[in-house]
Amino acid sequence: MPGQRVEAATSVPGDVMKSPFEFKQHGQCGRWVSSAYPHMATCVDDLAFLMAMASKTNVHGPASYMMNTGFLLPGFPCMGAWISYALGSLNSNLPTFVVLPDSKGYPYNQKGNFSSGFLPVTHQGTIIKPSAPNPISDLFPPASASYITKDSERDGLALLNKLNRRHLEQWPGDSRLDARIASYELAAKLQLSAPEVLDLSGETDATKNSMASTRNQRKTSGAVACSRAG
In our burial notation (b when 16+ CB lie closer than 10 A, e otherwise), range 116-151 reads bbebbbbbbbbbbeeeeeebbeeebeeeeeeeeeee
Tally of helices (H runs) and strands (E runs) in the chain:
6, 4
**How confident is the prediction along the chain (230 residues), in pLDDT tens digits per residue?**
555 665 565 666 677 788 899 999 999 999 999 999 999 999 999 998 888 877 787 788 888 899 889 898 889 999 999 999 999 888 878 888 888 888 788 888 888 888 899 888 888 888 888 777 777 776 777 777 777 777 787 788 788 888 888 888 888 777 777 777 777 777 777 777 777 777 777 778 888 777 666 666 555 444 333 333 33
CA 49-68-118 angle, to 5 degrees, is 135
Q: Which amino acid is at 29?
A: C
Partners of residue 41 on adjacent β-strands: none
Q: Give the list of residues 6+ apart from residue 183 with CB closer than 8 angstroms, or none.
A: 121, 122
SS3 1: coil
Runs of H (alpha helix) within the chain: 38-41, 60-69, 79-87, 150-170, 175-197, 205-229
pTM of the model: 0.61
As a whole number of angstroms, the distance between CA 144 and CA 48 comes to: 47
